[in-house]
Amino acid sequence: MHPPARNSVRVRLGFAAALPALLMSACGDAGPAALTVGPVSYSQNQLLGLADSRRQRLAELTAFALAVSDSSTNALGAPLVAEWEADRLLEILGAELTLERNGIGDDVLEARYLTNPEWELVVRHILFFSERWRSSEHRTEAEAKAERAMEALRAGADFATTAAELSEEPGAEGRQGLLAPGREGSWVPEFWTAALALQPGEISAVTETQYGFHILRLEDREVVPFTEARSVIVRSVADQLDDPAAVLSSWMAAHGGAHTSEGRSAALSEASLRGLTVPRGEHVELIRTWDDIAYRFAATFGFRYGWGVEQIAVGALAALSNPAQNANLSRTELSTYRALIEARYTIDMVPGL
């Protein structure tokens, strides 16, 4: 997976003056640009009182708002997800090396797997959106809608038809609530746990996840073939035999250095030569982890898809000046992803005046 190409975005940082000027009209002020992020520009007058460090924060917020507005947050986080996936692949390699050191073959692994197999589930569901950051009134209303749908199902309503009519998930009408087959990690934990507890044809209780309130029906379940689930059982057994991380470090020390880029590259090449891959469900889980982070930022800062230039500028300024503790914490956290922003957006600094 390669980092996305950079957008044509320019950021110019100038000198500091007073915070109240932040909420002036973001795009209508005359004068040379003190900060420019793509089509979004801020003049020196608009940034009066803003220290260079705060202007850098504004650049990060503006860039993230741009990503939200054109729905490119996945592209923004792609390099980080790729790094997470490489870390997961190294965990698998460490487990493989541990089993080899202890003489454990696939016959032992398969016998162990059959006692507690992985499952692939086919689920149909009805969703009433009410993310956990919503007000208690909003969540209560969504839960009430889910309970009314449940009453209709108990009274004999067809699940697929009810999903098509009531589910708030995009595309639910055409799919009648049917999801692509999922394995552990494919869905958020609460959803997976509820689905795994069902037998084919059974309907769950109303289940809350970070997205809202669901009603699930299990359509089918099948055991994942051992060859596809092997990396999961490999790690489970290896953890009981030794410290796979230490075993991997020892291998890397002999192949370029345990804590060097050469050692890491050698280990990733070894994993590739062995044909090791991150299971599909875990890959989806890693993508969803970044999605959740990006969604939380967008919700905290109030950024929205489809915003125009002026809305982005005003929204970024408001997010910068928001005194709420959660907004302050999120601004600090967003700065830890500055490398992602700088990989996607060109940032030019102008010395303070």
Q: What is the CATH number of domain 119-223?
A: 3.10.50.40
* Percent of the chain residues past pLDDT 70, beyond the cut: 90
**Tell me, what's the pLDDT at 18?**
33
**Tell me, what's the pLDDT at 272?**
97
249 by Cβ neighbours in 10 Å (0-12 / 13-18 / 19+) ranks as middle
pLDDT band at 197; cut points 50, 70, 90? very high
User: What pTM does this model have?
Assistant: 0.76
d(CA 10, CA 40): 9
pLDDT at 9 over 60: no
**Tell me, what's the pLDDT at 5?**
34
**Tell me, what's the pLDDT at 25?**
44
**Tell me, what's the pLDDT at 47?**
85
CA distance readout (Å), 310 to 10, 27, 60, 97: 17, 6, 16, 55
**Tell me, what's the pLDDT at 11?**
34
d(CA 35, CA 58): 9
**Tell me, what's the pLDDT at 182?**
92
281-308 pLDDT tens trace:
899 889 989 998 998 999 899 999 999 9
330-339 pLDDT tens trace:
999 999 999 9
d(CA 93, CA 351): 47
57-106 pLDDT tens trace:
999 999 999 999 999 999 999 999 999 999 999 999 999 999 999 999 99
Indicate the range of 50-64, 301-315, 339-353 predicted with least confidence.
339-353
**Tell me, what's the pLDDT at 185?**
85
**Tell me, what's the pLDDT at 12?**
32
pLDDT at 24 over 80: no
Average pLDDT value for the chain? 88
**Domain residue spans of the chain:** 1-71+305-353, 75-115+225-284, 119-223
**Tell me, what's the pLDDT at 31?**
65
pLDDT at 1 over 80: no
CB 92 within 8 A of CB 276: yes
Question: How large is the average pLDDT for residues 117-139?
Answer: 90
Tell me whether strands 119-129 and 212-223 are parallel, antiparallel or unpaired.
antiparallel
